[in-house]
Amino acid sequence: MKKCVLIVSVLIAGLNMVHTQTDTQIETIVSASLKERNIALLDKINESNNEKESRIALYLSQNPGTQRDSYIEDKKYTIIDVIDGTPIKITVHNANAAIATRANYMLTNGELGLEIEGLGMTVGVWDQDNVLENHVEFVGTFPNTNISRVTTPDFDIEQTYGNHGTHVAGTIAAKGIRSEAKGMAPKSTIISYTWGNDKAEALNEASTNGLLISNHSYGVPAVDADGEEYLPDYYIGGYTGEANAWDEILYNNPYYLQVVSAGNNGNSPNSNASTDGYDKLTGEKNSKNNLVVANAQDPTINSEGELTALNINSSSSQGPSDDGRIKPDITGNGTGLISPTSSSTDTYGNYTGTSMAAPNVAGSIVLLQQYYSELNNGTFMKSATLKGLVCHTADDDFVRIGPDPVYGWGLLNTKVAAETLLDANNGSAAIYENTLFFGDTFTTTFDAGNSNPISATLCWTDPAGAIQQNANSTIPVVVNNLDVEITAPDGTIYYPWRLNPVNPTGSALRNDVNNVDTVENIDIDSPSEGTYTLTVSMRGLVSEGSQDYSLIITSGDFVLSTNSKTENVLNVWPNPAKQTLNFKFASTSDATCLVQLIDLQGRTVYTENILGRTALIKGQLNTTNYTEGVYFLTLKQGSKKTFKKVIIQ
């Protein structure tokens, strides 16, 4: 029997603390989780699992000789549900075949000179079997060469080790005993689970132990083992209960990002496809808030780290989602990958598939979290910031202009993403994590020259949408519909990309109407010199009355305008606050500043007027009299208004 998820994971975290984020970092991450909603969500997940177990038990009783787990060669198929009498199975996403990645620019002796290797970072790996923790590639590195960097919280007497999970974990964290098998983050820690209770376990790890990134290289195949179609018409491309559940997990835990393989059904049929020859994504591959990864063949990278040639592996499953969202999100390299296997402590295998592309991405982006933390006093990016960053900096393919349902936003470029983090730290780019209230807009201005393109990306973690069970439903599942636009010095308005609703397989459109995507990017290829105005607004906001979002702005000649530096920056500390909450705000006029603290029900629980005529508005609140929870601190001076989400403990 599997042990109690909550107790075991806490014990393991204590035993393995040397490899994980610090207590302070974990507390910050966990405090942002919506605790009461997580408790209710766990109950819902358990109830759903019980209902599925009943359907499976009934099906097995009616079909003597059928096993819940079956194998074709060494590929495991597990029944996870029964829909209309049809067993729904999950399996791993590998076929059979080395990887080149620009994550190596961040490693020791890499050309960026960063020596970022995942030290102190943890990645969760859910797979068909546990990772072989005593493989030579996982034992040691730091601080004790005799201790494994892999833990298995769901260890029990029935535990089995698997080639697939071990290979996936090695792609992330192998230390490089065999040089061609070195992982993306060779000093990181792996926490390994089997896939049987993935949602509840991931929810617990994110909300209790501060897990930032997990990898899931498995899913429901679009065709059965014989290549025949068998799924309900709505399931492929649809926003199913699985997609909804993962979106809710991710929304409730805003620092946690699930990395998912897109699947290997690129060459499989779908007679009910919304777009002929496409539409192959199933289950959580159609979630809004995770990072779904396609699989490219080995790309050609020049000596400067620039992409010069790229081809998709034809087996990689294509999108888009039925509502027209850009899916997959990003492309990794998972073709011909050498990594550890579980046959013994020193064996290796050569695999191909989105199963390998996903950990290529997961291991790379954990390096970005570590680098951000080093640049920003131990804090981490919210998942929307990380997702927006990798989409913002991805290399577009050479076939279509803009995002598409094959590569998503393009091939992951860890090097440029890391350079963007440094540029933002130096003021030559901008990365915001803000909150937008219903009826408000966010505006910032920046100066740019005419020699380098401008790019801006808006990303947010959206509440779970309504489950769709109609085939090829085009009803948008986005809940809080934000928009971004940029106004040029001459008044021209630039809009973000979106897939062409009529021809989603062609080049994308630059359209002022995008009510489906939670990643919106604007590219201005040939800007004119001058001051640009960027505006984030909402076409519709249904949930909560506010929405957190992340924003990335880059340009080779980027200079944040003076008024933006003052009117949009509110510093709040400590956050979370236990006894006192400090704030400061660069004054924008001589007017009196109205300071308010507002709870999630929209009630004003604190009000103060601070006289203007000073360069800096600052103050301190005693928080001991307020109920624990999430609040918004708002400051309004004249026509200018700014706010920050704060947590009171």
Listing DSSP states for 89-149 in one string gives: EEEE---------GGGGTSTT-TT------TT-EEEEEESSB--TTSTTTB-SSS-TTSBS
Rounded-to-integer distance, Cα 25 and Cα 464, Å: 27
Per-residue pLDDT reduced to its tens digit, 34-72: 999 999 999 999 999 999 999 999 999 999 989 999 988
- Identify the weakest region by mean pLDDT among 86-95, 208-217, 323-332, 599-608: 86-95
Mean pLDDT of 545-561: 88
Q: Are 422 and 375 in contact (CB under 8 A)?
A: yes
Architecture of the CATH domain 420-566: Sandwich (2.60)
Per-residue pLDDT reduced to its tens digit, 341-354: 999 999 999 999 99
Per-residue pLDDT reduced to its tens digit, 361-397: 999 999 999 999 999 989 999 999 999 999 999 999 8
Phi/psi-derived region of residue 277, left when phi > 0, alpha when psi is between -120 and 50, beta in every other case: left
User: Per-residue pLDDT for 536 more than 80?
Assistant: yes
Please report the pLDDT score of residue 2 as a whole number. 34
Phi/psi-derived region of residue 613, left when phi > 0, alpha when psi is between -120 and 50, beta in every other case: left
The whole-angstrom distance between residue 543's C-alpha and the CA centroid of its chain comes to: 21
Categorize the per-residue pLDDT at 141 as very low, low, confident or very high, splitting at 50, 70 and 90: low
Name residue 6's amino acid. L
Q: Give the percent of the chain with pLDDT over 90.
A: 63
Q: Are 489 and 502 in contact (CB under 8 A)?
A: no
Instruction: Report the relative pairing of strands 69-72 and 75-83 from DSSP bridges.
Output: antiparallel
Q: Are 16 and 189 in contact (CB under 8 A)?
A: yes
Residues of the chain with CATH 2.60.120.380: 420-566
Length of the chain, please? Answer: 649
CATH superfamily of 5-400: Peptidase S8/S53 domain (3.40.50.200)
Q: Are 455 and 554 in contact (CB under 8 A)?
A: yes
Torsion of CA 571, 574, 577, 579, to 10 degrees: -110
Lookup: tokens for 108: 């020791």
Please report the pLDDT score of residue 100 as a whole number. 47
Torsion of CA 278, 282, 288, 290, to 10 degrees: -110
**181-216-95 Cα angle (round to 5):** 60
List, in sequence order, every residue forming a beta bridge with 307; answer none if it has no partner.
301
Residues of the chain with CATH 2.60.40.1930: 569-648
User: Per-residue pLDDT for 257 more than 50?
Assistant: yes
Please report the pLDDT score of residue 101 as a whole number. 58
Report CA-CA distances (Å) from 301 to 111, 298, 353, 389: 14, 9, 20, 21
Please report the pLDDT score of residue 541 as a whole number. 67
Is the dihedral angle over the CA atoms 148, 150, 155, 161 positive or is it negative? Answer: negative
Long-range contacts of 395-400 (CB under 8 A, 24+ apart): 395/307, 395/310, 397/310, 397/312, 397/331, 398/309, 398/310, 400/506, 400/507, 400/508
Please report the pLDDT score of residue 158 as a whole number. 65
Residues of the chain with CATH 3.40.50.200: 5-400
Please report the pLDDT score of residue 557 as a whole number. 82
List, in sequence order, every residue forming a beta bridge with 70; answer none if it has no partner.
77
Contacting residues for 490 by C-beta, under 8 A, at least 6 apart:
528, 530
Q: Are 22 and 378 in contact (CB under 8 A)?
A: yes
The whole-angstrom distance between residue 53's C-alpha and the CA centroid of its chain comes to: 29
pTM for the structure as a whole: 0.84
Q: What is the CATH topology of the domain spanning 569-648?
A: Immunoglobulin-like (2.60.40)
